[in-house]
Chain A
Amino acid sequence: AQSVTQLGSHVSVSEGALVLLRCNYSSSVPPYLFWYVQYPNQGLQLLLKYTSAATLVKGINGFEAEFKKSETSFHLTKPSAHMSDAAEYFCAVSFDSGGYNKLIFGAGTRLAVHP
């Protein structure tokens, strides 16, 4: 069965520092993976997705993620954090449910950015 584990429910970085949010997945078939961001009191916005075309995926707002099959990981990174990056980040794996797409989400990682 597919599942997603996000290591670290809270991550705090300084403005300008590297952001690394960890995501490990469990899937019996090649996965489709997604990162979403949720700003306070808002819905989820897609940051990027992996669909097997390329292992390094670039997303919006300077974020990127690398798919590593050997490590079953899809960690999210950004070279330099900005105050506006403070939000909740969710990793998700797409699961085939009778031929339809069902997203299984990780528990989320809250990113705090301090001056």
Chain B
Amino acid sequence: DTAVSQTPKYLVTQMGNDKSIKCEQNLGHDTMYWYKQDSKKFLKIMFSYNNKELIINETVPNRFSPKSPDKAHLNLHINSLELGDSAVYFCASSLGRGQNHEQYFGPGTRLTVT
């Protein structure tokens, strides 16, 4: 009964490849997020979707493309992977748009680009 799940947990690939990370939440939330955690543990938001609509798009290279087929799923596709994309990617979800709504995080996907 995992609340926010991500697949895969680990992803090792070579530069130039294209890869996807999937995220699903069963909390009934309507807002989902992607965060990137770098090697120094710094967390930064990348994207947010509300009911399948993109609402937050930080300054992320356009090689990163999120897709939300429904409000319970938010996937992240990365084209032409670079060494600097190596990080842990976290999916999160929250109930609605309010600032007081906490975000629930998935277990993370550790991406290693060689």
Please judge, given known A-B contacts A51-B100, A100-B50, whether A108 and B41 are in contact too, CB under 8 Å: yes
A102 near B: Cβ within 8 Å?
yes
Interface bits A3-38 vs B (CB < 8 Å: 1, else 0): 000000000000000000000000000001010101
Check A32/B99 contact, CB under 8 A, given A43-B108, A46-B104, A102-B45: yes
* In the assembled complex, B48 has its CB within 8 A of some CB on chain A: yes
Query: Which B residues are in CB contact (< 8 Å) with A110?
Result: 41
Q: Are A88 and B41 in contact (CB under 8 A)?
A: yes
By the criterion CB–CB under 8 Å, are A103 and B42 in contact? no
Which of B44, B97, B105, B107 contacts A101 (CB under 8 A)?
A: B97
CB contacts under 8 Å to A, within B38-87, are: 40-45, 48, 50, 55-56
| Contact A90–B43 (Cβ < 8 Å) | yes
Measured CB to CB, the nearest residue on chain B to A42 is B107
A74 to chain B, nearest CB (A): 14
Q: Interface code B21-49, partner A: CB below 8 Å = 1, 0 otherwise?
A: 00000000001000000001111110010
Q: Does B102 contact A (CB under 8 A)?
A: yes
Closest residue of chain A to B6, judged by CB?
A: A43
A43 surroundings in chain B (CB, below 8 A): 4, 90, 105-108
The complex places the Cα of A51 from the Cα of B97 at a distance, in Å, of 14
Q: When the two chains form their complex, are residues A49 and B41 in contact, meaning their CB atoms are under 8 A apart?
A: no
Neighbouring A residues of B106 by C-beta, 8 Å:
43
CA distance A102 to B74 in the complex (A): 17
Please, which residues of chain A bring their CB within 8 A of the CB of B55?
97-98, 100
| A46:B102 contact, CB within 8 angstroms | yes
Given A42-B107, A43-B106, A43-B107, do A101 and B101 touch, yes or no (CB 8 Å)?
A: yes
Q: Which 5 A-B pairs have the closest CB atoms?
A: A94-B99, A43-B105, A44-B105, A51-B100, A105-B43
B residues bordering A, Cβ < 8 Å? Answer: 4, 31, 40-45, 48, 50, 55-56, 90, 92, 94, 97-108
Binding site for B on A (CB under 8 A): 32, 34, 36, 38, 41-46, 49, 51, 88, 90, 94-103, 105, 107-108, 110
